[in-house]
Each structure stands twice: as structure tokens, then as C-alpha cells.
Amino acid sequence: MEYDRKKDLHRRYLSRELTAEELREFFSILEQSHADDLPGFDDVASDFPTALEPSENLAAKIINKHDNTRSLWLITKRSAAAAIAVLMLFGAWKGYLEYSYIQKTKTFATIKVPQGKITKLKLEDGTVITLTSGTTFKYPQAFTRTERRVYLLDGQAFFEVANDKSKPFRVNSGKLSTTVLGTSFIIKHYKDYGYEKVSLYTGKVRVDRNGINGRPVILHPGQEFDYHNGTLSTVKGFDNSRDPEESGTLDFNRTDFKDAVYSMASYYGVKILFNEDEFKEFRISGNFSSGSVEEMLQSLTFIYPFKVKKTGSSTYKLIRIDKN
């Protein structure tokens, strides 16, 4: 950007003549420029005489916050009108930074993890999130000043939340909202099955139902509970000594049949239909992360009494049979 263009934008900013597009251009220049690169304030300010004469102390304090080595010299060498121009400029800059911050809190990124992959994500506050295969996750470019809210749209995520008592961390997942200050936990949200589950490894979490004023569920380390098609389960214990990241690799240890199958369906990007009541007595153990979904389902038929029927390009139905 040529010097004359910068100077012209500065002059027209002070006279409030900039269009919306020119205002964005002007702020963009401020964002990318050093104090030495900005237009001469004395020349510009001379076009805007004023009777107001702010004290040199006040001006120096404000400008010093932006350039400790250069600003005081600039202030002491300028006229009162130039000092006012500088103050107005940095007042606009502060307003622009606030506007940019607010826009970032309203701008979201969405991640869809490819089949068979696991993705690690580090948020701006230091929170680390491990997303399993098939998971869809949404988060803002910047958190608001009062909370850190993210969205597990589908799939499974392990959260290692950075501690910040002044700004709670909240995860929205379907019908549930999980609130923490600093802890580690897993949330599963399989929207095709109306199934959500929260398992706490360290710290403490509170789980509320979105849009419902009911009694929240409080979990302590080694506790979990699920929400399935409108029904809340009782809080129960689980083995939280195992590596929580193994949960995203289809490595099961006497896991409820429905929980394991939901995880498999999300991992492989398919839909697996079955009558949950007919399979509720079964538990699954073993690692099912390798091979195809057809191979995985067929291997289970050697252990459990059911057969597999493919009903669509990515849909499978498990049919319970009696073993003689």
C-alpha cells in the first residue's frame, strides 16, 4: 500500500468519510503496520484543528501501551491536534480489535474425521481433544469471556480440559450439556441411535439436559452414565485406569453390546440396525480396528447368535437367531 493511500485513508477516517469497504481496508493496514510505517500524524492532524489540548501525560500513557520505544517521542514532538489524532486512531484500533474478537467468537470451524483415522486437536486455551473415526466436532475461533463452549455433533471425543476456574468448559452433544473446569472425560454422541454417554476419568463434571430444567447429573472419577432416546440411565462405575485414548480404537473389554456396536458403526461410517433388547445380555471384548466392517461383523457371528444382512450400500442389520 502506497504512503499516499495510507495517509488519505487516515485523513478521511478522521473526517468520517470512509465507506464500509474503505474502513475495513484502513483497519487491515493498521493490523499489518508498525508505528514507523503509519502516515505522518502532524500533516494529517493539521487539517483538523481543535481547541482541545489533552495533557502530554495522558497521551503518553495511552500511546505507550502500543509502542513503548517510539510513541512517547512521537507525542512529545507533535502538536495538540496531532496528539488527538493519534488518540483517535488508537481508539479506533482498540475498537477494531474488540470487533475482530467478537467476530471470532461467532465464527466456527467444523472437523469431520475420516474413516479409520484419529485426530488430535489443541484449542486456544490449551485443551486437547482426541476425535475418533467418523466424529464431527465444531468449535469457535475464539471463546467468549464467560465460557468455553464446543459442540460434539456426532461420534466420540476424549477431552483433556485446561484448568480455568473463571471460564467453564462446556460440551454440547445432542440433548446433553457437560460442564467442567479442568478434567479429562469421554463423550460419545451417536445421533443416528439417539445415544449419548459421558465417562469421567479425572476431576468432576456436571451434565444437564439441554432446554430442560431438571436435576443435573454429577459425575466423579470412574463414573459414567448414558442418555438413550429420552431415558437417563443410573450412574455406574467403570475402569478408568485404562488408557482413555484406547476407547477410540475399538478396543473393548466386556463392553455392552449396543455401546460397542454404536462405536463400530461410527468408526466405519456405516449404520448397523438391531433390536437392542435381544442383544442386551451380551458383552464384547477384543480389538476391532483393523479389517473391513463386513469382516468385523462376520467375526462376531462366530461368538454371538446372530446373522448379518446387508440392506443398503452402508447399512447392515443384525438378526438374532437361536443356537442349538
Same domain, residue pair 120 and 77: no
Same domain, residue pair 113 and 49: no
Q: Read off the amino acid at residue 96.
A: Y
CB-count exposure of residue 155 (10 Å: 0-12, 13-18, 19+): buried
CA gap 237, 188 in Å, rounded: 16
The pLDDT profile of the chain, 324 residues, written as one tens digit per residue, is 466 777 777 777 666 676 767 767 776 766 666 545 544 444 444 444 433 334 444 344 434 444 444 444 444 444 445 555 555 555 555 666 666 778 888 889 999 999 888 999 999 999 999 999 999 999 998 898 889 999 999 999 999 999 888 899 999 998 899 998 778 999 999 998 999 999 999 999 999 888 777 788 899 999 998 888 887 777 889 888 877 766 667 888 888 899 899 989 988 889 999 998 899 899 998 888 777 889 889 989 988 999 999 998 899 999 998 755
Same domain, residue pair 122 and 47: no
The last residue of one of the domains, among 212, 228, 246, is 246
Looking up residue 281, the CATH number of its domain turns out to be 3.55.50.30
Show the cell assigned to 28. 487491515
Contact in structure between 205 and 179 (CB atoms under 8 Å): yes
Same domain, residue pair 273 and 310: yes
Same domain, residue pair 96 and 189: no
Same domain, residue pair 259 and 209: no
Contact in structure between 156 and 266 (CB atoms under 8 Å): yes
Same domain, residue pair 66 and 118: no
Show the cell assigned to 122. 489443541
Same domain, residue pair 89 and 210: no
CB-CB neighbours of 208 under 10 Å = 17
Looking up residue 201, the CATH number of its domain turns out to be 2.60.120.1440
| DSSP code for 33 | -
The last residue of one of the domains, among 105, 125, 159, is 105
- What ranges in the chain are assigned the alpha helix state H? 3-14, 20-32, 41-45, 56-64, 71-77, 80-105, 257-268, 276-279, 293-301
Show the cell assigned to 121. 486437536
What global pTM score does this model have? 0.65
CA gap 115, 135 in Å, rounded: 9
Same domain, residue pair 237 and 118: yes
Same domain, residue pair 113 and 154: yes
**Structurally, how many domains does the chain consist of?**
3
Hey, which residues does 308 pair with through a beta bridge? 318
Query: For 14-43, what is each residue's pLDDT tens digit?
Result: 666 767 677 677 767 666 665 455 444 444
Residue 159, classed as helix, strand or coil, is strand
CA gap 215, 208 in Å, rounded: 8
Show the cell assigned to 39. 502516515
Same domain, residue pair 61 and 155: no
Same domain, residue pair 218 and 265: no
Which domain covers residue 296, as residue numbers? 250-324
The last residue of one of the domains, among 246, 270, 300, is 246
CA gap 6, 19 in Å, rounded: 15
| Phi, psi of 242, rounded to the nearest 5 degrees | -75, 150
| Phi, psi of 202, rounded to the nearest 5 degrees | -140, 160
